[in-house]
Structure 1
Amino acid sequence: MDHLQEKTLSRKHIYSGKIIDLYVEDVELPNGKTSKREIIKHPGAVAVIAVNDEGKIIMVRQYRKALERALVEIPAGKLEKGEKPLNTAKRELEEETGYTCQNLTHIISFYTSPGFADELVHLYMAEGLEKMNEESCLDEDEFVEVLEVTLEQANKMIEQKEIFDAKTAYAVQYLTLKMAE
């Protein structure tokens, strides 16, 4: 047993939503004292780095209510129940951007906020992009603008806080390092 582990003493389900479940747990700390932990359970998500033949990154700009502003992000979305991350990545790329791809390669998976949430994001690289004939098929409550930006523009967008989320900043840094090889 890990000497840093917190033992769950009780767990109370507070809320179930479309995207998350919220729990409050009473835990015993490694020193024997107790504390409360607020925990968000999330089904997981994917994010897709998609670069077209001109070397431009396909991104979306969308309003994020939690931040009360629009952000520029790589295409991403949550896993549906029983859906494999690879299938989610293909679906989200098509739905959000109107592009399909010949190949999807898993790069890495990472936790977004492990201090309070178990959301695991699976990052993929899409290659061999092809614009689909039909329009993208967004969720009914989803509104996005599709952008094509150079790596240099993406790095400037990070500096200007237009790109301000971890998965997209990670993707841009990944591409920057890959181009430097």
Structure 2
Amino acid sequence: MSAAAAGHPESTPGIDVADSRGRTGLDQVGRGLTGNPDVIVRDVRLLSSNWFVLRATTFDFRHRDGHWSTEDRETYDRGDGATVLLYNTEQNTVLLTRQFRFPAYVNGHPDGNLVEAPAGLLDDDDPLAAIERETAEETGYTISDAAHLFDLFMSPGSVTEKLHFFAARYSAATLTGAGGGLAGEGEDIENVELDFTEALAAIGTTIVDAKTVILLQWADRTGLLEAR
């Protein structure tokens, strides 16, 4: 006999019992928000916690004309991340990566292989430690002088992720590992070294990843590298 049939409520992974990642209380996120008096959170429902977390939140919202409405929004919580532009001023190059991205493939990218700046989720690290880890795993290069640039919300209509942007030098002397990503996570990552001018010219054609475009345009605007 099930718990429900016996008159006891069902346990829900991610709420009152641990999900596959050991988490509970995932339906409590957002309930205590007080920073905006025009938003009153009424309910948070956990829809999925298979790996990342999908929630549906009901809140009251006061519009600019003073009237209130009740809104429902779904939010996808994958944690925050970090990304880095690897650059070499002597060679006037940037080091990017190429890897398969199924969401891009299923939404019309010809083969799903995107050219991107190295990036990854923070997990339990701070942003600097995370991007040093991800750079080594993806490219094989060790960075020690990463400069924090800014933080951006990349898709605030539905995704909670805040991305921390960095820039760091690389050279042949800082290549200390094989790179390629983590095979245990199905990663198969290739390094792509481009002349900076070539990378800028590829924006919108072979480079269609937003974080990478932002980093390249930042480098161009600040004169980090020479666009010949």
Same fold (TM over 0.5): yes
Q: Secondary structure, in 3 states, of the residue corresponding to 1:100?
A: coil
Using structure 1 for the length normalisation, give the TM-score: 0.90
Determine the C-alpha separation between the residues in 2 that align with 1:139 and 1:175.
Answer: 29
Using structure 2 for the length normalisation, give the TM-score: 0.72
Question: Hey, what does 1:57 align to over in structure 2?
Answer: 94
Q: Do the aligned partners of residues 127 and 115 (structure 1) sit closer, same or farther apart at CA in structure 2, a change above 3 Å counting?
A: same
Instruction: Tell me which of 2, 8, 11 is aligned to 2:44.
Output: 11
Which structure: greater strand fraction?
1
Instruction: Tell me which of 46, 54, 57 is aligned to 1:25.
Output: 57
Q: Does the 8 Å CA contact 2:85/2:166 hold for their aligned counterparts? A: yes
How far has the Cα of 1:73 moved from its partner? 0.5
Matched, 1:77 2:109: no
Q: Does the 8 Å CA contact 1:103/1:128 hold for their aligned counterparts? A: no
Instruction: Tell me which of 2, 23, 40 is aligned to 2:76.
Output: 40
Q: Do the aligned partners of residues 154 and 77 (structure 1) sit closer, same or farther apart at CA in structure 2, a change above 3 Å counting?
A: same
Task: State the structure with more CA Rg.
Answer: 2
Amino acid at match of 1:56: T
Instruction: Tell me which of 194, 203, 217 is aligned to 1:158.
Output: 203
| Structure 1 residue runs of 4 or more that deviate by more than 2 Å after TM superposition | 127-134
Determine the C-alpha separation between the residues in 2 that align with 1:172 and 1:178.
Answer: 10
Q: Secondary structure, in 3 states, of the residue corresponding to 1:10?
A: strand
Task: Tell me: higher relative CO, structure 1 or 2? Use CA pairs within 8 A at least 6 residues apart.
Answer: 1
How far has the Cα of 1:180 moved from its partner? 7.7
Matched, 1:138 2:181: yes
Question: Hey, what does 1:175 align to over in structure 2?
Answer: 219
Unaligned runs of 5+ in 2: 1-34, 106-111
Q: Secondary structure, in 3 states, of the residue corresponding to 1:94?
A: helix
% same residue: 25
Q: Secondary structure, in 3 states, of the residue corresponding to 1:37?
A: strand
Determine the C-alpha separation between the residues in 1 that align with 2:68 and 2:139.
Answer: 51
How far has the Cα of 1:75 moved from its partner? 0.4
